Structure 1
Amino acid sequence: MPDMLNIEGLHAGYADSIVLNDVSLSLDQGETLALLGRNGTGKTTLINTVVGVTRRHKGSIQLGGQPLEHLAPHVRARAGIGWVPQERNIFRSLTVHENLTAVARPGSWTPAKVYDTFPRLAERKGNMGAQLSGGEQQMLAIGRALVLNPRLLLLDEPTEGLAPILVEEVLRGIENVTKNEGLSVIIVEQHPQLILAISQRAVILDRGTVVHQGPAHELRHDQALLNRWLGVSV
């Protein structure tokens, strides 16, 4: 059975500028990968390249054995890529429920299931997107990606700028998705201690190159590696 995601020898960037250099990684079905690194190391570029909004210079990207590198972003979405960018990109002039039903596709993830995962959204289902707090908008952005019923979910900085109590709610929801639903997830995060606890594997990028791959629980307790590549302590 092929990996859910397999990337081999990937070189990519924007126009003629190459940001990623010979990146290779794989992700199993139902596995969560913490994608870590300092600012500007290529994390978002890697996510964007899987989505298809950068320029790939060389290398391959496969989803469940299906080559993606020559497919347009909307075709990749239909193939099973769910994406929550840093900007969230919710429909601010639609209600929470309209945001979810407008994009829903057949599958196990329905608006009702999203409300079960993020109860705060159920309380706000009649509110416009523009009326939500930052944390609520993040929950809605994740929920909107889930009702597309993807095979792979890409989350770019899901806790950025959120109050601590909302960070806890967002992480609980993500953990439910990853542990109980069998969805493969890649999470870009600036705070490794938050995300390593709910991930199985970790990859660290530095200057567009993979400098570490391994079990998340080992990296979580490896102060030397965390200090060396991320500048943080356990």
Structure 2
Amino acid sequence: MPELLSVEGLRAGYADAVVLNDVSLSLGQGETLALLGRNGTGKTTLIDTLVGVTTRYKGSIRLSSQPLEHCAPHVRARAGIGWVPQERNIFKSLTVHENLTAVARPGAWTASKVYEMFPRLSERKENMGSQLSGGEQQMLAIGRALVLNPKLLLLDEPTEGLAPILVEEVLKGVERVARDEGLSVIIVEQHPHLILTISQRAVVLERGAVVHQGAAGELQRDNALLNRLLGVCS
């Protein structure tokens, strides 16, 4: 499988606060990676560093062999990084359809294709962003990242605060994106059982460093390791 993302020796944080220490990982084209760890271990900081909104002290980030570590966030977006932050950051004063079409770039993903994946959004396409439920806002945030037609989709806690039925709907959409569309995805999640089943690989962070990486299925089946790394038994 061709390598899409390569991160080597990454050290980063916010201003003078170093959060990530010597983080290295890679991701193949079409792979989904579960990025796991307890609270405060650096998962969101790693996502933010890939996007370009932290202070990078050393290390390299390459997407399709293109160096990105010195690039501004908008350049990284043009290079193919799509980002759905925890805050979702949809345009609440615009309609669902305006949210999708205002930022769209040419490519396979269009507003119509997003509506096909998330029928709830099609039913609410004329609703303002502020009128959507939390789950609908999350679907819209994912859709808005997709219509940028990225190579890599970064999802930071996509199921946080959602009702179980909406969690299932969101994760089915993410699984389709990777399985059927060949998009690479990194998902940050507090609950490993939700995403290990739809991921090929898993990385666990502890105190800003990688303490485990390997096949997601193997980690899911190893209850003792899950408990030791994450304090859970799945």
Counterpart CA distance in 2 for 1:121 and 1:192 is 27
**Aligned ranges 1:62-211 → 2 under 5 Å:** 62-211=62-211
Read off the aligned partner of 1:109 and give its amino acid letter: W
- Cα distance in 2 between the residues matched to 1:101 and 1:34: 29
- CA deviation after TM superposition for structure 1 residue 81, in Å: 0.4
CA distance in structure 1 between the partners assigned to 2:156 and 2:15 by the alignment: 22
What is the TM-score normalised by the length of structure 2? Answer: 0.99
TM norm structure 1: 0.99
CA–CA distance in 2 between the matches of 1:10 and 1:3?
18
Aligned length: 234
Identity of aligned residues (%): 81
Give, in angstroms, the shift of residue 66 of structure 1: 0.3
8 A contact 2:3–2:64 mirrored in 1: yes
Mapped contact 1:109–1:149 kept (Cα < 8 A): yes
Say whether the 8 Å CA contact 1:2–1:65 is kept in structure 2.
no
Per the TM alignment, residue 17 of structure 1 is displaced from its structure 2 partner at its CA by 1.1
TM-aligned CA deviation for residue 2 of structure 1:
5.8
Quick one: which amino acid aligns to residue 68 of structure 1?
A: L
Q: Which runs of 5+ in 2 are unaligned?
A: none
Query: Matched residues in 2 for 1:130 and 1:166: separation?
Result: 18
SS for the counterpart of 1:4 is strand
Q: Contact between 1:90 and 1:140, CA under 8 Å: does it hold in 2?
A: yes
Deviation for aligned residue 1:229: 1.1
Instruction: Give the CA deviation at 1:223.
Output: 0.6
C-alpha distance in 1, partners of 2:34/2:2? 21
Range that drifts further, 173-182 or 1-10 = 1-10
Counterpart CA distance in 2 for 1:180 and 1:190 is: 25
Q: Secondary structure at the match of 2:3?
A: coil
Gaps of 5+ in 1: none
Secondary structure of the 1:130 match is: helix
Q: Deviations over 1:176-214 (max 9, x none)?
A: 101100000000000100000000000000000000000
Shift, 1:3, TM fit:
1.7
Of 223-232 and 37-46, deviating more is 223-232
Q: What one-letter code is carried by the residue in structure 2 that aligns with 1:119?
A: P
CA RMSD of aligned residues (A): 0.8
1:214 partner amino acid: G
- Cα distance in 1, alignment partners of residues 157 and 69 from structure 2: 24
Counterpart-to-counterpart distance in 1, 2:130 and 2:154: 23
> Offset of 1:224 from its aligned partner?
1.0
List, as ranges, runs of 4+ consecutive aligned residues in structure 1 with deviation greater than 6 Å. none
